[in-house]
Amino acid sequence: MTKISGQSHSTDKAIDKIPHHVAIIMDGNGRWAQQKGKLRTFGHKAGVDAVRASVTLARKVGIESLTLFAFSSENWQRPKEEVGVLMQLFSLVLRSEVKKLNQNDIRLKVIGDISAFDIKLQEKIKKAEALTARNKSLTLNIAANYGGRWDIIDATRRIAHKVEQKQLSLNDIDEELFNQHVSTGDLPELDLLIRTGGDHRVSNFLLWQCAYAEFYFTDVLWPDFNEEVFNLAIADFAIRQRRFGLTGEQIMKQEDNDNNNENVIC
């Protein structure tokens, strides 16, 4: 039996209900630090432990992809010192964690316009991605200088280029093709989007990918996020009925059919 925050499921059913792809808007670092009378950057540093805890849990429960929003395309507008600390932190964490990620069979991927970063940081990112490229237990996808609108425009530009080069025709453009060209094209559909920090908005995160994701908002500030809070979100996801435009009755019928087919196979 697998236990998710107080609920027990048979292993098969639990695996069924584990989201394949979870994304997190890691918000609330600044307020967490300010509540303690510290500088905002203290909160960013403390947030690294919550990143470790969520990666560990994601791997443990069998989530295939975890996408973390680390720095948005709008975050450049913050005070220069804060942006500087965030860049430094990104670089430090890459240096200290990549080996561990690799040992744990975790693939690291970075999405966003990394061309805006310092060249050394860009090289570090590429090296880490190459080192971990074949790992299978979890894809840890870091969104850095990422914007959902950028992602859509970038995909559009790459598709347009292929049309221009006559590698694609206009009629080839459909949802599936577009999905292959956004930054998460090699990852499973987004199932669950979590936002910490109490605000109920998407802040230009995975706009294309959110289409049928379940949303989970918590007031917990990111540095306080831990396995327990993550488990609550996963357990909440497990009891939701995802309808994808159908009626609740249609979904229940589908589930009955699936269960019957499973029994026949057994």
Q: How far apart are CA 61 and CA 240, in angstroms?
A: 18
Residue 27 appears among annotated catalytic residues:
yes
* Biggest distance spanned by C-alpha atoms of the chain: 63
> Looking only at residues 189 through 248 of this chain, which bind ligand IPE when binding is defined by CB under 6 A?
197, 199, 201, 203, 222
Query: With binding defined as CB under 6 A, does residue 90 bind ligand IPE?
Result: no
| 28 touching ligand IPE, by CB under 6 A | yes
Which residues pair with residue 103 across a beta bridge?
none
By CB under 5 A, name the one of 27, 64, 97, 191 that touches Mg ion.
27
Using the rule CB under 5 A, is 191 a contact of Mg ion?
A: no
Rounded (5°) CA angle 266-237-67: 105
Per CB under 5 A, 97 contacts Mg ion? no
The least distance separating ligand IPE from the CB of residue 153, rounded to whole angstroms, comes to 18
- Binding site partner of 51, from Mg ion, ligand IPE, none, Cβ cut-off 5-8 A by kind: none
Residue 91 as a binder of ligand IPE (CB under 6 A): the answer is no
How many CA atoms are closer than 13 Å to the CA of 73, on its beta-carbon side?
15
- Whether the Cβ atoms of residue 122 and residue 152 lie closer than 8 Å to each other: no
| Amino acid letter for position 250 | Q
Q: How many residues does the chain have?
A: 266
Q: In this chain, which stretch among 68-76, 159-167, 172-180, 232-240 interacts with ligand IPE, using CB under 6 A?
A: 68-76
b/e burial code for range 224-255 (CB count within 10 A of at least 16 → b): bbeeebbbbbbbbbbeeeeeeeeeeeeeeeee
Binds 203: which of Mg ion, ligand IPE, none (CB < 5-8 Å by kind)? ligand IPE
Residue 259 falls in the annotated catalytic set: no
Q: Choose which of 54, 65, 67, 72 interacts with ligand IPE (CB under 6 A).
A: 72
Q: Which of 25, 85, 106, 187 binds ligand IPE (CB under 6 A)?
A: 25
CA distance to 180, 185, 202, 260, per residue, from 155 (Å): 8, 10, 20, 41
86 is a contact residue toward ligand IPE (CB under 6 A): yes
How many helices and strands (H and E) does the chain possess?
Answer: 9, 8
Is 150 a binder of ligand IPE (CB under 6 A)?
A: no
Closest CB to Mg ion among residues 27, 97: 27
Tally of CB atoms within 10 A around 86: 19
Q: Which of 49, 75, 135, 179 is catalytic?
A: 75
Interface positions with ligand IPE (CB under 6 A): 25-31, 69-72, 75, 86, 197, 199, 201, 203, 222
Active site residues: 27, 75
Interface positions with Mg ion (CB under 5 A): 27
